[in-house]
Structures are given as C-alpha cells and as structure tokens.
C-alpha cells in the first residue's frame, strides 16, 4: 500500500479542516481501507465563538457522508472539552450519547457526528484517522489474531479487544491508551474491527495509516496468504424462471419487491463454486459494521425456508441477552451464494444491491486470506447480533421520506432511446424502478448515468438478440415487473393500392410480431412479479380513428391492440394487467422534424402552434405526458384495471 499524498494537490488546502478533507478523501479512494460510508476521521481546531472566546472543537465525520467524497460541511464541529468529560462518565446510553453529540455541536445544521466521536476526542492528537482496512480484519479474524498483531507491530500500536462501537468502546480505548501509549505509539488496532492512526500533522497521521496497513499486507504476503484469490471466467447459466421465482420468494420475505443483482465477476464465480462454503461463508461478516448491509450470513443454496428458520433461531437466541426488547427485522437474505447461480446481492435499490456486492467482494478477500493464514474466524453471533440490532446502526439505513412507488421493481422499455420510450425510461427511473431500455440505436447503452439504468442495443425483431437482452435484464436485476411495448415504425404515407408486400411485412414484423415475441418471452417473468406484472402498450389514435395513407401502421396498431385484449384475458389469472395507451400528435419525437411539422401544419392551413394544439382541450402533448400515463397505468391507481384503452390526445372529436 502506497501513500497517495501529493504536495501539489495538498497545496490547495491551506487550513487544518481543508487538509482534513484532503487526507480523508485519500483514505476514501482506497476501497481496501474503507467502503461505502465506513471509517471516520477528525481534526481538533480552536476557533473563536460568537462571544469572541477561544473554543476547542472536534470536527468529526458526520453520518451520511462518504470519506471518498467528503467536503467541509461533512464534518460536524462538537465542543471538545465536553466530549472528553463525557468519556469519564461511568455509563452513557445510546440515546443520551446521540443527544450529547447533537446538542454540543456549534453548527445547528451540521450532520449527526459519527458514533465514534468520543473516541476521537479522547486521543490527544490533532488528526485522527480510522479505517476498517481489509488487511487488519483479515489478520484479526483469525484464531491467533491478537498474537499476530503483536508480532507485526511490536509496541507501535495499542491493541483493543473487540467491543461494540459507541460509548463503551470510547471509554475502553481512552483507558487503554492512557496506560499503554508512549512516544512511539503510531496507532491503535481494534480486533475484528479496524485501525486508528493519529498525529498532530495531517500528512503524518494519514501516512502512519498507510505505513501500518502496508505492514499488515506485507505480513500476509510473507505468510503466503496474499495471492490466494482464485478467478473463474466461466459464467453461470441463467434459468430465468428459477431466478424470478427466487425473487418473488425473497420479496415476500422482505415485504416489498427486491432487486436481485448477479454481478459479472470472475472472483464471485470462483467463490460460489468452492466446496468449503459451509465452513467459510457461514461464519459471519468480516467486520460487524457490514452486518446492516449483508446480514450475518449469506443464504447458501436456494432454500429460503431454511434461511428463514435459521435467521429466526439466530434472532431468538441472541435477543435474550439484548439490553432492551428487539423486534425482528425482515428475514430476507441480502446475499445468495449458490453453486449453479453464483453470488447474488439483494436490496431494495440497485444502488444498495451494488453496495452489498462491493462489500462481499472485499469479504471474499478477507475470508480466503484468513483461511490461508490458518483459518477464518469471525466474531461470535452475539457480537454480530448486537451490532445488527443496535439502534444507531439501524438509523443509518432509515432514510427520511417515503420510498418512490416502484422501489425494488424492474421495467423494460422497447424503443427506449428516444421520444415516448426515453421519456418513459426517465419517468420510471424517477418513480424508483430499475429500467432496461432496448433500442436499435447503440447510443442507448450510455444514454443515462443512473445506477438503475441498463441500456441494451437490440433489434427487437431478432429473437436471439431479444432473448439475450431479457437474460441480461434478469441477471442484472432478478426479474421483470413492467413491460412497456413502445418500439414501432411509422412509414411514409402510402395508399392501400400502392403498398408493396415488403413495406407491409416490415411494419407488421416490428409493430406487431416483435411485440408478440416480447410478450411471450417475458410472460414467465411477469407472472412472478411480486406485485403483479404490468404491460403498457403504446397504441395510437389511429386505432379508434384511422386516417388515409397509413394503412400498414394503423392495421399493425389495431392488431396489436387486439393482441393486448386477448393477452389481458389470458393472463388475468396470473395477476398480469395489460393496458393500451392511444397517443396522438406527440410532436417531440424523432419522426417529427421541424420541416415535417411545418409541412403538415401548412396542409391544414394552420400555424405550427395551432396545429400542435389542434384538439378539444387545446393543449400541446409531449412525450413526457405519455410517459406520465405509462407510470400511472402501471401504478396503484390502475391496480384493478386491465384491457383498458386510454386516449392521450387532448381530446379528439373523432375518437370521442
Ligand atoms: Zn469503525
């Protein structure tokens, strides 16, 4: 491990807090030191208060901030002397501690200080850095962990036996530090948890962390416990029905639809195929901090009933020793490891499922290296339980406000790269769904930077490509809840006597046949949608009110509408709703160039504006209006509606 400090970069930060921001980000850049909100840092600064008096403050990382991206407002200023005096109390409950931290901040709007704030305050150095370094938890999750740490560091560090974070840990660290620290102490190792470094200078404190962790990594290398992570490029075959059934079961345990994300990873492939998983992955997380993301154990195999039995037994065993009454959390696994399916992470959002996968990626390193060092040995169940059911940890997961309507659900939109398709993609993402956009246009791949967006270049009239796209969807997210059939073509106007067979067949193949194939291929997935499958079909005003010159288009959309009606009849027993939208005169789509628009307006002897609003309500229709109806029709308000045909045209006297 190398220091990332660069004098050139550091120069931009001229004050103490600025340098704290800089070195915190350096720590955050290395996921083998801290992962997703893990770790915390602080700096002690004396500032004048509003009365003109000097006041010593601890600027400590606030909850909700990641070290990698932290900035000045991410550090909460807390009165230092008060914190030091708190550490001398005999006891302090969690609610009392949080109250003391929050009510002794000098900026009322600052985030809640880290639960390790008191610990930071008691260490008599200006800068304090804390990480959950992989190498340290690897060595300490081991039968001889403590003696190995002594062997590596001699008297360079103070060692603290495992104890849950919070007030008791802060008090213990303060005591042990007072008794054991000396002029050459560089840090403090917390067994099964992580490591602290400190100094009066930002660079020195940061580089002590790097020095100490590097020593641990070198120790692993010397003991042939470093290059022991196998990779296997052979991916697993996907059984999409099995995956959708698994998602439905897990969602029902979680009480809401969940994303099942199978990351493409050679490391995960190799790990899932091991023969010793019962021993290695069924012990517990690498550090208790991870339990709120991963639960104590991954589900090994696909037996959800057994997982629930085991989780319930774990809860009832360990809650007996809890300080207060606990309510069992949902018993749904957050990780599935199966010899035929690989490693699958489970969460309410794609972002969170990615976090679980990231954590497990590092957990595998820790487990396999600790195994090579003589045997992985996680903390006892009680310690993990206490952390999982610790109110302060649970608070980290509780976000304010209610979740968007389609949280945990998955939508697939054909023709998603432009017009109504793209507007539907955006509207569904905004409503909380994970969204797959299919389009012929390769730009679809990178069209949106959202973590829950998956763009796939796909010709929907090519069955092989479509099947692959559906497999990709199920691999990435676990199933399908909503299907938006939008892809279609509108050929140049031709009268019936002029239509050639090729044009007719081409329109039918894209506007009708491809949709039949999509429906058929997605049926088994929609059938297993936790809240019932939904199909939204983009029809056309031309179905109820056709015009001359568009026979192929109108006939294809009419046939599609009839297909939708029969589908609604057949799939109703599976809880799948099928509805059709008939938009008209949506001009912000690819086919309506300014020239075409002007020509059509001229044809009716109207201005472009008058032409655009030529409907009963006199309103202009946009793709986003149709997309809003797609979201509505897939939502709770239409939960008892199927086979409906809804116009979205501002009111058309021929349709009415
Ligand atoms: Zn920690």
What angle is formed at CA 192 by the lines to CA 191 and CA 196, rounded to 5 degrees? 55
214-242 pLDDT, tens digit per residue, is 999 999 999 999 999 999 999 999 999 99
* 160/177 Cα distance (integer angstroms): 9
What is the CA(380)–ligand 1 centre distance, in A?
18
Beta strands in 135-289 (DSSP E): 157-160, 187-190, 194-199, 259-261
Q: Rounded to 5, what percent of the chain is helix, strand, coil?
A: 45, 15, 40
What is the CA(90)–ligand 1 centre distance, in A?
22
CB distance 188 to 178 below 8 Å: no
CA-based nearest residue to 469, from 432, 444, 501, 449: 444
Residue 182 three-state SS: coil
What is the CA(79)–ligand 1 centre distance, in A?
21
Q: Which residue has the tokens 């260490």?
A: 123
Tokens of 190: 């917390």
Confidence of residue 324 (pLDDT cuts 50, 70, 90): confident
What is the CA(558)–ligand 1 centre distance, in A?
62
Tokens of 316: 């009832």
50-75 pLDDT, tens digit per residue, is 999 999 999 999 988 999 999 999 99
Average pLDDT over residues 581-591: 87
Q: Which residue has the tokens 């390193």?
A: 365
pLDDT at 562 over 80: yes
pLDDT at 399 over 80: no
* 375/335 Cα distance (integer angstroms): 22
Average pLDDT over residues 336-342: 96
| One-character DSSP codes across 111-175 | PPBPTTHHHHHHS-SSEEEEE--HHHHHHHSBTTHHHHHHHHHTTSEEEE----TTHHHHHHHHH
Q: Where are the alpha helices (DSSP H) in 288-328?
A: 291-294, 304-319
What is the CA(288)–ligand 1 centre distance, in A?
9
Would you state the pLDDT for residue 484? 98
What is the CA(513)–ligand 1 centre distance, in A?
57
What is the CA(436)–ligand 1 centre distance, in A?
37
Q: What is the mean pLDDT of the chain?
A: 94
What is the CA(625)–ligand 1 centre distance, in A?
48
Residue 416 three-state SS: coil
Tokens of 229: 């992570």
What is the CA(488)–ligand 1 centre distance, in A?
54
Would you state the pLDDT for residue 398? 66
437-475 pLDDT, tens digit per residue, is 999 999 999 999 999 999 999 998 899 999 999 999 999
CA-based nearest residue to 428, from 442, 443, 412: 412
Confidence of residue 401 (pLDDT cuts 50, 70, 90): low
Would you state the pLDDT for residue 547? 87
Work out the percent of the chain whose per-residue pLDDT is above 70.
Answer: 98
Confidence of residue 397 (pLDDT cuts 50, 70, 90): low
What is the CA(195)–ligand 1 centre distance, in A?
8
DSSP state of 298: P
What is the CA(155)–ligand 1 centre distance, in A?
22
Query: Which residues, at least 6 apart from 40, have a Cβ–Cβ distance to it below 8 Å?
Result: 60, 61, 67, 114, 116, 120, 130
* 591/600 Cα distance (integer angstroms): 12
pTM strictly above 0.85: yes
* 294/366 Cα distance (integer angstroms): 15
What is the CA(166)–ligand 1 centre distance, in A?
10
Would you state the pLDDT for residue 371? 95
Would you state the pLDDT for residue 565? 98
* 117/61 Cα distance (integer angstroms): 8
What is the CA(194)–ligand 1 centre distance, in A?
6
What is the CA(38)–ligand 1 centre distance, in A?
7
Query: Which residues, at least 6 apart from 97, have a Cβ–Cβ distance to it below 8 Å?
Result: 86, 115, 118, 166, 167
What is the CA(295)–ligand 1 centre distance, in A?
17
What is the CA(39)–ligand 1 centre distance, in A?
5
CB distance 318 to 385 below 8 Å: yes
Work out the percent of the chain whose per-residue pLDDT is above 90.
Answer: 88
pLDDT at 400 over 60: no
What is the distance of C-alpha 354 from the center of its chain?
5
Confidence of residue 527 (pLDDT cuts 50, 70, 90): very high
Instruction: Count Cβ atoms below 10 Å from residue 161 Cβ, excluding itself.
Output: 11
pLDDT at 195 over 80: yes
Tokens of 499: 């239509």
Confidence of residue 604 (pLDDT cuts 50, 70, 90): confident
What is the CA(152)–ligand 1 centre distance, in A?
21
What is the CA(265)–ligand 1 centre distance, in A?
28
* 273/284 Cα distance (integer angstroms): 19
What is the CA(83)–ligand 1 centre distance, in A?
18
- To the nearest 10 degrees (0 to 180), the angle between helices 202-222 and 16-28 is 20
What is the CA(132)–ligand 1 centre distance, in A?
6
What is the CA(196)–ligand 1 centre distance, in A?
9
CB distance 378 to 283 below 8 Å: yes
Would you state the pLDDT for residue 16? 97
Q: Which residue has the tokens 């059938």?
A: 527
Would you state the pLDDT for residue 70? 96
Query: Which residues, at least 6 apart from 19, have a Cβ–Cβ distance to it below 8 Å?
Result: 10, 13, 43, 202, 203
What is the CA(133)–ligand 1 centre distance, in A?
10
pLDDT at 396 over 70: no
CA-based nearest residue to 43, from 202, 211, 185: 202
CB distance 433 to 461 below 8 Å: no
Instruction: Count Cβ atoms below 10 Å from residue 557 Cβ, excluding itself.
Output: 26
């Amino acid at each position: 491990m190398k220091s990332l400090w660069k004098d050139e970069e550091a120069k931009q930060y001229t004050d103490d807090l600025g340098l704290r921001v800089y070195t915190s980000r350096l720590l955050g850049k290395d996921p083998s030191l801290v992962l997703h909100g893990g770790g915390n840092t602080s700096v002690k600064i004396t500032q004048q208060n509003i009365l003109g008096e000097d006041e010593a403050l601890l600027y400590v990382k606030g909850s909700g901030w990641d070290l990698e991206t932290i900035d000045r407002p991410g550090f909460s200023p807390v009165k230092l002397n008060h914190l030091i005096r708190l550490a001398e109390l005999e006891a302090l409950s969690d609610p009392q501690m949080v109250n003391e931290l929050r009510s002794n901040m000098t900026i009322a709007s600052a985030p809640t200080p880290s639960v390790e704030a008191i610990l930071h305050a008691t260490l008599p150095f200006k800068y304090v850095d804390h990480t959950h370094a992989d190498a340290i938890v690897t060595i300490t999750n081991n039968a001889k962990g403590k003696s190995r740490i002594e062997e590596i560091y001699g008297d360079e560090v103070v060692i603290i036996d495992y104890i849950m974070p919070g007030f008791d840990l802060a008090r213990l660290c303060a005591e042990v530090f007072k008794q054991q620290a000396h002029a050459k102490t560089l840090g403090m190792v917390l067994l099964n948890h992580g490591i602290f470094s400190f100094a009066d200078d930002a660079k020195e404190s940061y580089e002590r962390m790097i020095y100490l962790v590097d020593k641990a990594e070198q120790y692993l290398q010397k003991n042939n416990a470093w290059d022991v992570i196998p990779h296997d490029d052979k991916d697993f075959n996907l059984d999409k029905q099995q995956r959708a059934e698994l998602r439905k079961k897990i969602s029902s345990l979680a009480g809401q639809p969940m994303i099942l994300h199978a990351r493409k990873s050679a490391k995960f492939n190799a790990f899932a195929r091991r023969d010793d998983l019962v021993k290695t992955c069924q012990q517990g997380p690498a550090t208790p901090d991870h339990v709120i993301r991963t639960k104590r154990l991954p589900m090994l195999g696909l037996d959800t009933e057994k997982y629930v039995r085991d989780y319930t037994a774990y809860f009832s065993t360990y809650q007996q020793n809890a300080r207060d009454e606990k309510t069992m959390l949902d018993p749904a696994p957050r990780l599935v490891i199966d010899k035929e399916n690989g490693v699958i992470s489970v969460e309410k959002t794609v972002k969170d499922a990615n976090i679980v996968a990231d954590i497990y990626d590092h957990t595998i390193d820790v487990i396999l290296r600790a195994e090579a060092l003589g045997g992985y040995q996680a903390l006892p169940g009680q310690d993990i339980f206490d952390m999982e059911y610790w109110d302060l940890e649970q608070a980290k997961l509780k976000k304010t406000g209610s979740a968007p309507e389609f949280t945990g659900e998955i939508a697939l939109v054909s023709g998603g790269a432009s017009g109504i398709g793209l507007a539907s993609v955006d509207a569904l993402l905004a409503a909380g769904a994970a969204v797959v956009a299919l389009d012929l246009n390769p730009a679809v791949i990178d069209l949106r930077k959202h973590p829950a967006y998956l763009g796939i270049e796909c010709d929907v009239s090519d069955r092989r490509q479509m099947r692959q796209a559906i497999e990709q969807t199920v691999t990435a997210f676990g199933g399908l809840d909503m299907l938006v059939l939008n892809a279609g073509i509108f050929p140049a106007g031709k009268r019936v006597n002029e239509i050639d067979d090729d044009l007719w067949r081409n329109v039918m193949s894209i506007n009708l046949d491809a949709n039949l194939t999509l429906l058929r291929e997605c049926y088994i997935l929609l059938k297993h949608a936790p809240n019932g499958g939904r199909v939204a079909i983009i029809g056309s005003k031309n179905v109820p009110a056709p015009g001359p010159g568009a026979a192929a288009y109108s006939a294809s959309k009419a046939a599609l509408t009839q297909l939708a009606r029969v589908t609604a009849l057949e799939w109703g027993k599976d809880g799948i709703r099928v509805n059709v939208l008939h938009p008209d005169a949506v001009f912000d789509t690819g086919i309506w160039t300014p020239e075409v628009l002007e020509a059509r307006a001229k044809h009716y002897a109207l201005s472009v504006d008058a032409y655009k609003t030529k409907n009963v309500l006199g309103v202009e229709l946009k793709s986003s209006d149709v997309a809003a109806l797609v979201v509505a029709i897939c939502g709770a308000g239409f939960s008892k509606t199927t086979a409906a045909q809804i116009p979205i045209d501002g009111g058309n006297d021929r349709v009415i």
